[in-house]
Structure 1
């Protein structure tokens, strides 16, 4: 069973629901400011990775999986289990990275040290 309803308030301005990756990227580029972001449903529709956080920074769009651990009922941002914090809800992830810099990892340059705050919402476009 897909846990989309589990913790995510569907009325959040940053939540774009079942938008395609292409449409989500276009929404980010419409605002075109570093730190523009949205959360969309994962195209895999998997219970353990229900959402994706998309962030625009330095003209590049980063797609960061939001995973759900059923046994602990927590959300985790990213693909690695090492050193990742867990959160009670997706809203908690967004609130945290609005205050603390999010490290952005480029698939082609894994040593990249780019980071930004989540600043501008594009989910309601």
Structure 2
């Protein structure tokens, strides 16, 4: 059985450019025709959902943090939804949990060293 040449399966730069152009056109059409709610509408929906809305956002934030999604986009979204005080509290809790998580998981023996 002859081995396949790896270079045979690569796309040419022209095909890649065509795919990129098609994706940009599709994105523009979706953005034009889909009604994107304003920040006030989203805040009202989250406020109406109460604690469930906050928990859904936290779970979505945690899930998206596992992907290569930029953290600044998620932080800006949290700031828009929950305001400056809510975002500041979230950042504080996040930094504290990152800094002290190894000591929490290792137990008190790690603190004595």
The normalised TM-score by structure 1 is: 0.24
With normalisation by structure 2, the TM-score equals 0.26
User: Quick one: higher RCO (CA 8 Å, sep 6+), 1 or 2?
Assistant: 1
Larger Rg: 2
Question: Which structure features the higher share of strand residues?
Answer: 1
